[in-house]
Chains A and B, each alone.
Chain A
Amino acid sequence: MKASRTRTAGTAAIAALALALTGCSSTEGDSGTGSQELTFWGWSPGYADAVKAFNKSHPDIKVTYQEVQPGAKGGYQKMLNAVQAGNAPCLAQVGYETLSSFAAQGALQDVREHAEGEASDFQPAAWQSVQLGDAVYGAPVDTGPMALFYNKKVYDSLGLKPPATWDEYQEQAERIHASDPDRYISSPYLNYDYAGLSWQTGASWFGVKGDSWKVDLASEANQKVAAYWQGLVDGGLISGAPMYDQAWYAGLGSGNIATVVGAVWQAGVIKGGVKDGAGDWAVAPMPQWKAGEKAVGNAGGSATAVLKGCKPTEAAWTFAHWLSTDRTTYGDLVTKASLYPAAVGLLDLPQLQVKDPYFGGQPIYDVFADAAAEVTPGWTWGPIMTKTTTDLDDALGKAWAGKGSLKDALVTTRSKTVAELKNQGLKVAE
């Protein structure tokens, strides 16, 4: 009697589990009626409308858009889990910095056969970002060329001009702090914002040598950048307000944080988060290590990536390419999400010529158009970026607060990354 009861309960449990599992899984692919269906996960404002426009103009392909949390806030985890569970969407928005980590988890699908012929539609640096080895994993959507956002009101009141070099930037940091002890030139930079500062010097955090990874986080060029900012920290010239925190927005509004070295999309962040700074802010080219140079870093930018398990890869590529290159759609994305096109044919979009009253009527995209052409090539992301940036932020956070040094942060992060790579069996070139 007892045995049979247990069996009944067991069967019920298994049935319930099976139900739950089948409920979760969905098969992606052609429905057999000639029209192909695929799903796209993303979070950029404007993507939902773009998908609607695509479906209208492409009756043979039906794309379903699902909004997910921004990558670092859970979206990437959800995608990886879905790939593991075998029910991932065909397409997903993935930042360049995360693509190689996705590839290293076997989460991406190579679409070189469809994509190869259209490589020249994109800026070379952006195209390089979606390639790893021989594979092409998606279409680049936007890039993040950097510049200097500065509070013109503060600068004018002190008779300062935007700095041409980092040496000038440091002198201005001292003058700004001397003018008011609550006033600083900048907040600390973490993870990918910090990476952009290194990027400018031609340093890379990672490299590939044969079939081994090179971990260059603590290379000479990277240490040069660290030493420079260490000087500002030691001089007490960096604000304690963490970026994107309420205190940071307040500081940008009041002029207590006078500059942000940031990518083009930072324009949208500042405009949206600092309403009382309207008219005060302006954009200048990124300061240089040597006067007369024109090197620029990149921070952010993302691709429409094809995830493992996607069957209609050709349709997936068709959509990905269209999203990055359709003029009308991309014009809206510039306005709604401050995206800066990776496609060469879109650099003359009317939306990129506007004179924004928030930035005192300055045509700010002119600065970024010049910058985009000067982004230092050769940057490579590593295979476990989430781990690397978490460790880096742990150490950088302390260093910016004056505990430990930025250089030690790079050294510690490098050794932790190398240990984890080896632990997982990846080859590391010393």
Chain B
Amino acid sequence: MRPTGTAEQTAAAPKPAVPPGKRRGRETALGRRTLLLFGGPFAVLFAAMYVAPLLYATVSSLFVVKRSGLGLAPPTREFEPLHNFAQAFGDHDFLAGLARVGLFAVVQVPLMLGLALGLALLLDSRSARAKGFFRLGAFLPYAIPGVSAALVWSFMYSSESSPINHLLEPLGVHIPFFANGAVLWSVANIVTWSWTGYNMIIIYSALQTIPAEVLEAAKMDGASALRTAWSVKIPAVRGSLVLTTVFSIIGSAQLFNEPAVLQPISSGAISSTFTPIMSAQAAVAAGNYPYAAAQSVVLALAVGVLSFVFFKLTSRGENA
């Protein structure tokens, strides 16, 4: 459904303006109550589920678990604000995990979003047939919970039972899904499979909002479908692309489900500290909550800075 534009806009425009001053008192009181009514639940949940844990993690990352002797007495916590962070930046496994998800984001995000954009443009093109079917088909993997999807893929990758390698066998091809150099891309494949459709839907709905007359004008000017896509459609969905990129960067940083499910069958290629979150999880398992908190804070800061820089960079381009 593409909005037909001008007719509705003009109809909505002449709204009787309320004379300023006359009803202000009543309106602000009402407004305040409404604000509280609608904003309150959000504020409470936001504070309880987001701000409080964040503060809690930050505060506990400043302490150190201390035991003595055999450690059979309950451990004590001492305030040593830099200890855990120093440990994190000296922790080879944790840093390798950060670098790994960094590399993952640099390669996988553009690939996935390129694919999503391509699919969205194809769906949006005038000659597309059976749009509903393809839209649903591309979106379907997203509807499968991440862990279930990873389980299915772990079967496809398994060195013992892989049907992919079984099919390729007559051709003499064997894909080593869990070789050291390949394993990150085996994970990337699952993530791409799961999330391309989701991103495609966001981009596709942005394409739907391009006014018909703009496309009409491009057609009148003799622009080919490719030219229209490149010069009209893609610039128009720029906002969605920025949004999906930021989501995907955050998603990459939080990589956990897929590698955690593949770990037991990876013959050691996926370690317990494969990604930063897995590393923090391992610290929790070791009973070192403050160190896990410190790792989480480092990760959160890295993602925050990265998203901020990306937003800044892209919005500067917009103003120019």
Contact = CB atoms under 8 A, between A and B. Distances in A.
Given A208-B70, A397-B268, A13 B44 contact: yes
Nearest to B28: A1
Interface size range on A against B: 35 or more
A383 B71 contact: yes
B262 to A, nearest CB: 11
A278 to B, nearest CB: 22
A80 B155 CA distance: 33
Contacts of B66: 424-425
Interface in A236-275: 240-242, 244-247, 250-251
A16 B48 contact: yes
B272 A16 contact: no
Interface string B268-303: 110111000000001011111000000000000000
B196 to A, nearest CB: 28
A232 B40 CA distance: 65
Chain B at the A interface: SS class: loop
B287 A401 contact: no
Interface in B161-194: 161, 180
9 closest A-B pairs (Cβ-Cβ)? A106-B74, A397-B268, A398-B268, A247-B160, A387-B286, A401-B267, A211-B69, A394-B271, A386-B285
Contact of A77 (B36, B47, B265, B284): B284
A241 B267 CA distance: 9
A424 B155 contact: no
B48 A106 contact: no
A401 B70 contact: no
7 contacts: A9-B36, A104-B75, A132-B72, A393-B268, A393-B272, A394-B268, A395-B268
Contacts of B158: 245-247
A12 interface: yes
Given A240-B267, A245-B265, A250-B161, A394 B272 contact: yes
A35 interface: no
| Candidate in A387, A424, A426 with the most chain B CB atoms within 10 angstroms | A424
A135 B285 contact: no
Contact of B67 (A241, A250, A394, A425): A425
Nearest to A72: B285
Given A424-B67, A424-B71, 18 more contacts: A9-B40, A9-B44, A13-B48, A17-B52, A105-B75, A105-B287, A133-B70, A135-B72, A211-B70, A212-B69, A247-B158, A247-B265, A390-B285, A395-B268, A397-B267, A398-B269, A423-B288, A425-B68
